[in-house]
Amino acid sequence: GGLYTQLFTINVGCVFVQANPRSVKLMRRVAASLRAKPAWDQQAFNEILLMPGYAERPTHRASLRVMDHMQWANSKTFFKSERRHFFPGASARAPTPVMVHMNYHPDKHKRMLCVIARYLDGKPSACDDFPGGSEKGT
């Protein structure tokens, strides 16, 4: 075995893939991997996307670009790790996100409703009472 280091994971619930020969090759490789053995689709995608190629398995040559995490936020970024930029809502410094992907907290539906109320219904403090983590005080 060798040393395996992964610095981050691409969330396949919030990904844009431009159709071209390289991305088709990448997706075919992911599909083949999932057919060969049951796995979590996100982990299979990340392993194939981020692992370097070698003689027996050359790279797919697809490139990766990561969008601004403050504008394409997930719920951990919005409610927890970058909370100081988004809260309190009335004085938030962060730009209005393009989207907030609810993937981190167990109370996804309630948090989704507060984001809708904040950005679509014009209620800036709609999310202020939610804790950063899943429990009060976090």
For 93-113, write each residue's pLDDT tens digit. 999 999 999 988 889 999 999
> How many CA atoms lie within 13 Å of 94's alpha carbon, on the beta-carbon side?
25
Least confident of 4-8, 15-19, 80-84: 4-8
- Is residue 7 pLDDT above 70, yes or no? no
Dump the DSSP string for 40-92: -HHHHHHHHHHSPPBTTB-----------TTTEEEHHIIIIITHHHH-SGGG-
Per-residue pLDDT reduced to its tens digit, 34-72: 999 999 988 899 989 988 888 888 888 998 888 898 999
pLDDT at 33 over 90: yes
What token pair was written down for 33? 């991997």
Six token digits for residue 10: 């691409």
Cα 132 → chain centroid: 17
